[in-house]
Structure 1
Amino acid sequence: MASKTKIDKAGRYLSDPKRDYDEEMLELELIFDEYRKEHLEPLTRLTLELQGWLQTHGRKYYIAQRLKRKPQILRKLNRFSVRLTQLQDIGGCRIIVDSNSDVDELYSYISGKLKESAFATILRVTDYREKGRDDTGYRALHVILSVSGRMLELQIRSQIQHYWSESIERTSVIYGHRLKEKEGDSCVIDYFKEFSNALHEIEIYKRLDAKQEIMLQEKRELAEAIISMAIKSGHLSGFVNQSVIRSMASAENSHNTTFNNWILVFDWTDGNFVTWEMVSRDPQAAVDCYLRYESEFPEDERKEVVMIGTSSIETVQHTHSHYFGIDHHNDALENMESSIIGLSRRSKIDVGARRILMTMKNRTFWGPKKVAVSTLKNHFCSGIASFDHSLEELRSLGIIIGSDPISLDLKKKPFIEELI
């Protein structure tokens, strides 16, 4: 096994795009690959141990593992100026549970089991759920563990926290910028931060007020416009590739094994799988296959190669759903009061119309109390670029009384409250 100094040198050299590839780089790349491989066996042991405990926990969950992609590791070394041996998430295990309170309950359960078994040591716990990460708004509970001398990361997320994370992942590849790494337009990143905050409010059973919804809708529409200009096809949602899932499930059933590693190759230029393969549980054979695919399908050609381990491939549709589309996550949210998933798509009126309604309602322009259209446009609603169009939209709904001056129809108050 290479020394720590040599491993860190491998990370430093390989993450430097200015260095020429020579014989020394070839040697260092082999050291890098070997070091990454050494995380797979303890990671698989951790995942299987956790899975065994979860089966007796009595709660719904999804669990899977992944060995971090090589380009992702090298970018992280550059972004944070850290050494390769300092990285804590080369091997990662992800557990998805229903609610935020389930995250707390599950962590308490797992930490108790770890103390009993001495299977792994908890090195650090970082809780991003309350405030979200400053850079992107990411939320989850992270537990850094030591297993057989290797640092591994356990992520525990609620369904809503995971929905946000997978949404930003999918949007990143549609947009062509890694938003979690703060690439791309700041307005798009800002939308996802506010989206995360809004989802958190919902998860802790708070209602979003009308101003928050309007602000979020405006930010979303701006983000969609920016992405649309970048890709000439502006949309933030996807589809679920069920045919691939069925094919993989069939292969899984034919092998009749309790745990499998999978190589997935996805082409983000057209949103389709290039290929997939079930690979050996043996760390050497699995990582050799991983390296071969990474070489054959480079990231700079917009190919993404990932190795995921799971006892059921259907689990991956939940734990790493951006490879399959994100539609099915709406099921977890649609019954929640004031759900904001797809807010701009489902809204009955545009943002400008909602702001006009809010202004007239707050200033009590109801029934006999009227306001001149010019005053409303140039004074109270001066920031609404779509004022004329939005006002006509409100007129078409029959909730505006008068031609000029105007007011809101008291008889339509319940409907107006619903729109706001």
Structure 2
Amino acid sequence: MAQRLKRKPQILRKLRRFSVRLSQLQDIGGFRIIVHRNADVDSLIQFIKERTSGTEDYSIEKITDYREKGRDDTGYRAVHMIIKRNSYFLELQIRSRIQHYWAEGIERTSVIYGYHLKEKEGAPEVIAYFKELSNAFYEIESGRQPDSNHKIMIEKLRLACEQIIKESEKFKVFDSFVNLDVIKALKEVEGNSKELNNWILVFDWNQGNFTSWDKVSLDPEEAVKKYVDYENSFPAEDGFEVVLIGSTNVETVSKTHSHYFGIESYDHILENLDSSIVGFSRKIDIDIGAVQILATLHRRHFWGKKTVTLDTIKNHFCKGILSIDSSMQDLINKDLVIYKNGVYSLNIQKKRIIEQYI
């Protein structure tokens, strides 16, 4: 769970794009829930309808379902629900994991390419690729396989788009893993606290790195004042982005704002369809607790003969994981973790697969 202040440049771009007044925007306050499957999206919608029925505080004003056909412009899929609370409008986005996986992909590519693809910036071919990939994902999520002609078309688009992106004058603002040291620095400031912290990060799009980061007050007025001070010091028109986020674990920031932290390789900017399916499958076939355990053991180099007890994992490394016993058993069943004589270690023979999971 993480939160962030909606950024001023985002709001300004949306006002210009839709030619509306600020008072007409319905997603200045918003939130997103990611569930496992499309069927869970329907269950959640029904749950919210039941909980808001007959209450004076909340009312559902509008539901827009982009799942079956996708948005005409990009192929974006999700359900958007406009909820009114005491005269304020909030937008709730509900996505399945595969829909979120697609959304992360287009966001990451936008950063590498240098254009806001979700806002129809950039070459039509690149937008078309993501639209067709979204259609293929929808088929897969519906229990069907995309036909061979569709797969061939997606692959041709992918190859053409990679070339377009590489030739872009804005291409490759990042170097691989350029910003991971920032997380280490913030982690030291955070210490062992599990309380919510507010952070202001300043990202320089000209250089592809963070120029400043600061821990700020939890008091809303003080935090926003600090945010405004930073925006004045680092203006968007000069290529800076000021982000105010809140999180109980600063490592979460590298997941919720992953596009700031570089990419692994420029050899294959866009996944082919089979790689996308493999990548998605690996992300969802173990729970988040299991992923956290893998990441912790990997970070601390518990491979082969270097072992650790479950008590140490529970009481020191992974205190916040409620499902630790079942998650660990799942990792053992999948042969990702080896359990022997009361201690645990990562399976060195599964190193590549483990690193794909995390």
Q: Pick the TM interval, shorter chain.
A: 0.5 to 0.7
- Match runs of 1:8-407 below 5 Å: 63-115=1-53, 119-231=57-169, 239=177, 241-257=179-195, 259-324=196-261, 338=274, 340=276
The 3 A distance-change label for structure 1 pair 155 and 176 is same
1:105: Cα distance to partner? Answer: 2.5
**Cα 1:186–1:289 shift into 2, 3 Å:** same
What residue identity is the alignment partner of 2:16? N
* Alpha-carbon distance change, 234 to 342 in structure 1, aligned in 2, over 3 angstroms: farther
Contact 2:3/2:245 (<8 A) preserved: yes
CA distance in 2: counterparts of 1:237 and 1:100, whole angstroms: 36
Counterpart CA distance in 2 for 1:125 and 1:111 is: 11
Cα shift readout 1:160-210 (whole Å, capped 9, x = no counterpart): 212222222222232222111111111111111112212222222221222
Cα distance, 1:243–1:88 mapped onto 2, change above 3 Å:
same
SS in 2 for 1:126: strand
Please say if residues 174 and 208 of structure 2, whose CA atoms lie closer than 8 Å, have aligned partners that are also in contact.
Answer: no
C-alpha separation in 2, matches of 1:198 and 1:125: 24
Alpha-carbon RMSD across the aligned residues, in angstroms, is: 3.2
Instruction: Give 1 or 2 for the bigger CA radius of gyration.
Output: 1
CA contact (8 A) 2:111 2:259 kept: no
Name whichever structure is richer in helix by fraction.
1
AA aligned to 1:321 is: S
Aligned counterparts of 2:64 and 2:119: Cα–Cα separation in 1: 19
Amino acid in structure 2 at the alignment position of 1:74: L
Change over 3 Å in CA distance of 1:193–1:210 after alignment to 2: same
SS in 2 for 1:192: helix
Give distance in 2, aligned partners of 1:149 and 1:308: 25
Q: CA deviation at 1:228?
A: 0.7
Number of matched residues?
Answer: 272
Q: Which amino acid aligns with 1:146?
A: K
* SS, match of residue 95 in structure 2: strand
Cα shift at 1:219 = 0.7
Pair 240,99 (structure 1): closer, same or farther in 2 beyond 3 Å: farther
Query: Which position in structure 1 is the counterpart of 2:289?
Result: none
Gaps of 5+ in 2: 265-270, 280-358
Asked if the contact 2:204/2:210 (under 8 Å) is kept, the reply is yes
Q: 1:236 to 1:158 in 2, by over 3 A?
A: farther
Identity, % of aligned pairs?
56
Q: Deviations over 1:373-405 (max 9, x none)?
A: xxxxxxxxxxxxxxxxxxxxxxxxxxxxxxxxx
The 1:230/1:202 distance shift into structure 2, 3 A limit, reads: same
How far is the alpha carbon of 1:110 from its aligned partner?
3.6
**Aligned-pair CA distance for 1:128:** 1.3
TM-score by length of 2: 0.66
After TM superposition, the structure 1 stretch with the greater mean CA deviation from structure 2, 175-184 or 92-101, is 92-101
- Check the 8 A contact 1:202/1:339 in 2, yes or no: no
Quick check: 1:95–1:319 contact (8 Å CA) kept in 2?
no
